[in-house]
Amino acid sequence: MKIKELSNLTDDELISKEKQFKKELFLLESSRQMGRVEKSANFRQLRRDIARILTVLNERKVNGKKG
């Protein structure tokens, strides 16, 4: 996801997306342990999406904006 897409979401939507991405990352990690990963680039993409979400949430917190 892009930052512009994320900035249009509310805080609750961002938090739910973060939880969803973390769950997907956990499932990918467990499948990696079993040796069944098809696309290893998904790890990087999920970690970056989570970081983007956290960045938007932190910017809103610092600026005092509610979403």
Q: What's the CATH code of the domain at 56?
A: 1.10.287
pLDDT grade for 10, boundaries at 50, 70 and 90: very high
Give me the domain span that covers residue 51.
3-63
Share of the chain above pLDDT 90, in %: 70
| Helix and strand counts by DSSP (H, E) for the chain | 3, 0
The CA distance from 12 to 8, in Å, is 12
The number of folded domains in the chain is 1
Is the pLDDT at 64 greater than 60? The verdict is yes
Is the pLDDT at 66 greater than 70? The verdict is no
The CA distance from 12 to 43, in Å, is 24
Cα 45 to chain centroid distance, Å, stands at 9
pLDDT grade for 15, boundaries at 50, 70 and 90: very high
Is the pLDDT at 17 greater than 80? The verdict is yes
| pLDDT for 26 | 95
